Structure formats: structure tokens, C-alpha cells
Amino acid sequence: MPTPDTATVLPATLVLIAMGFTGAREEGLLTSLGVDITSRGNIVHDADWATTVDGVFTAGDCARGQSLIVWAIAEGRSCAASVDEHLMGVTSLPRPVRPGEKPVTV
Ligand SMILES: Cc1cc2nc3c(=O)[nH]c(=O)nc-3n(C[C@H](O)[C@H](O)[C@H](O)COP(=O)(O)OP(=O)(O)OC[C@H]3O[C@@H](n4cnc5c(N)ncnc54)[C@H](O)[C@@H]3O)c2cc1C
């Protein structure tokens, strides 16, 4: 939300905006699937990475928000275990992390 009366005009010939990841793109796939999105633009999911649509799972930046590749890899592996369990009723795949877990600090 812009702060009133704080606008400044800066002359420039090139402007590069470094925004990084600003949330999952809703139009297209997510809209057609009908998954719920949080107010911060992330895909809503439960403790098993399941979205609000049966059979649709999520992990990584679009679920956690902008983060690090190690989280995306660990979450992707954990999500795969949940998908396996959803399809087969049981899984032996590893779940390195649970949704919302914070990095371990030493
Ligand atoms: C500029 C920048 C620098 C970064 N530097 C680092 C770093 O140094 N170290 C680090 O650990 N992390 C870094 N990150 C973060 C890291 O890149 C992400 O955390 C990681 O890539 C997330 O992986 P992901 O698989 O969740 O998502 P992504 O890697 O974003 O993959 C999502 C994929 O889905 C595709 N996609 C999106 N919508 C659709 C659709 N509708 N249909 C089909 N495909 C679709 C996209 O094209 C993309 O290929 C950086 C991120 C940015 C933006």
C-alpha cells in the first residue's frame, strides 16, 4: 500500500527492479485448478502438502514463499512422499521436512 505524499520523481534511462519471487502466478493453472491462495500469494496447504483441492499438492517457493533451494528440494521430496501415500495408501519415501519447519540453528 503506497504511503501518501511520499512520491519522488527520479530521472533515469534504465530502471532494474530486483523483486525476486513475489508469489505464485494465479492466473492460468492455479485459477483453473481452484486452489486457495494466502493473502501473501502462497498456495494454501495442510501438513501433508495437500492443497485445498483433492489430489493437488504443492511445495517450494509457491507454498513457503520466497526461500532457498535447499528448502525447495527437501519440500519436494517430502511432498513426493505425500503424493505416493495419497495414490498408494502407504509410502516408504523419506520426508526430510514438514510444512512450516524453520532451519535448524547450531
Ligand atoms: C534472483 C534469485 C536469486 C536466488 N539465489 C539463491 C541462492 O543463491 N541460493 C538459494 O538457495 N536460493 C536462491 N534463490 C531462491 C531459489 O531459486 C528458490 O528458492 C528455488 O528455486 C525454489 O524452487 P521451486 O522449485 O520451489 O520454484 P522454482 O525454481 O521457481 O520453479 C518453479 C517452476 O515452475 C514453473 N511454472 C510456474 N508456473 C507454471 C505453470 N503455470 N505451468 C508450468 N510451469 C510453471 C516455473 O517456470 C519454474 O520453472 C534465488 C531466487 C532468485 C529469484
The model's pTM: 0.84
**Structurally, how many domains does the chain consist of?**
1
For residue 40, give the CATH number of its domain.
3.50.50.60
Distance CA 7, CA 20 (A): 23
CB count within 10 Å of CB 97 equals: 20
29 CB within 6 A, ligand 1: yes
In a domain, 95, yes or no: yes
Query: Which pLDDT value is given to residue 106?
Result: 52
45 Cα–ligand 1 center, Å: 18
Q: Which residues of the chain have pLDDT under 50?
A: none
33 CB within 6 A, ligand 1: no
Domain coverage including residue 73 = 12-106
Query: Which pLDDT value is given to residue 104?
Result: 59
Query: Which pLDDT value is given to residue 76?
Result: 96
Distance CA 41, CA 56 (A): 17
Sign of CA dihedral 45, 59, 98, 55: positive
Closest CA to ligand 1's atom 42: 29
In a domain, 29, yes or no: yes
Query: Which pLDDT value is given to residue 20?
Result: 75
Closest CA to ligand 1's atom 20: 69
Name which of 23, 34, 74 is nearest 100 in CA terms. 74
